[in-house]
Amino acid sequence: MIEDLQARAQVSRSIAKALDDLVRERMKGLVEEPDITSRIGQRLEDRFNGRRLGGYRVRVITETITSHGRKSLEKPLGTDFYFALSVEDAAGNRTSKGVLVQAKRERGCDWTELGEQCRRMRLVTKKESVVWLYRKTGIGVIRSTDVDRRVSASMDSTAFFDLVLECKIGDRRKTPPGPFGDRDSLKTMLKDLGAKNAVWLELDQVAG
C-alpha cells in the first residue's frame, strides 16, 4: 500500500492519534463501547476528509445502520465495525483492503464471550480481524487469533494502522464492490458482515 516509511508513519500516527483522543475523551464518562464505536467514523471524517496527509489526498465516508432487520447477520458474525481502506499511488495502482473489528472496553471484558465473537469473525476472514480494546489511554489492538490466549494488547493503534498500510493486515476480498464514495456498496458490506458502523478511507498519492 504505502511503501515510503516516512509517509506511512505520518498517516498511521495521525489516524491513531485522532482515534486515541476520541477514546480518551469518551472513557472519562460511564459510556459503553457502542457509544465510542459509533463516533469513530465521524471523528475521522471531521479530521481528515479533503485534507492532505503524508503526501496523500484523503477522502473519508462513513455509514451507520441502526438495524439490520429480522435477517441480521450481526449475531452470528460478531462484527462491530468495518474498516475499508483504498490506497492509490502516483502511477494509478490501487490496493484496497478491509478489516473486521470487534470493540470492547478492556476493563471488565468477558474474554470467553469475546473469544466466541472472534471465532465468528474468523469464519469470515481468518487473519484479517482484530479486537480494539478501549482504555483510558486510547486503543489497544489484538489480532483475533490471539484472543483465546488472553494476551494483553500486543500493539497500539499506531502500530496497527502501520501494519494495515504496509499491507500486512487486511483482506482484499472484503472491500466494497463499487468505486469510492458508493454508499450503496458500503451499505451492502455492512449488511453482509452484520456490522453497524463502517469507515471507508481513500488515500490518493499526490504527484510531486
> Any idea where the domains of the chain sit in the sequence?
5-205
Place of cell 451507520: 64
- Supply φ then ψ for residue 29, to 5 degrees: -110, 180
Q: What is the rounded CA–CA span in Å between residue 155 and residue 8?
A: 17
In this prediction, residue 149 has a pLDDT band, given cuts at 50, 70 and 90, of confident
pLDDT single digits (tens) 98-123:
999 999 998 888 989 999 989 888 88
CB contact at 8 A, 12 and 55: no
What does the pLDDT read at residue 152?
Answer: 56
Higher pLDDT, 16 or 144: 16
What does the pLDDT read at residue 202?
Answer: 97
What is the enclosing helix (H) or strand (E) of 202? Answer: strand 197-205
Cell of 126: 481468518
* Least-confidence region, from 51-65, 69-83, 181-195: 69-83
- b vs e for 54-64, b when ≥16 Cβ sit within 10 Å of the residue's Cβ? bbbebbbbbbe
Higher pLDDT, 2 or 68: 2
Average pLDDT over residues 32-40: 90
CB contact at 8 A, 176 and 200: yes
Average pLDDT over residues 174-200: 89
CB contact at 8 A, 155 and 125: no
* Least-confidence region, from 171-175, 179-183, 193-197, 203-207: 193-197
Average pLDDT over residues 15-19: 98
Is pLDDT of 162 > 60?
yes
Reported for 31-37, long-range contacts at CB under 8 A and 24+ positions apart, including other chains, are 32/105, 33/80, 33/103, 33/104, 33/105, 33/134, 34/80, 34/196, 36/103, 36/134, 37/80, 37/81, 37/103, 37/196, 37/197
Q: What is the mean pLDDT of the chain?
A: 88
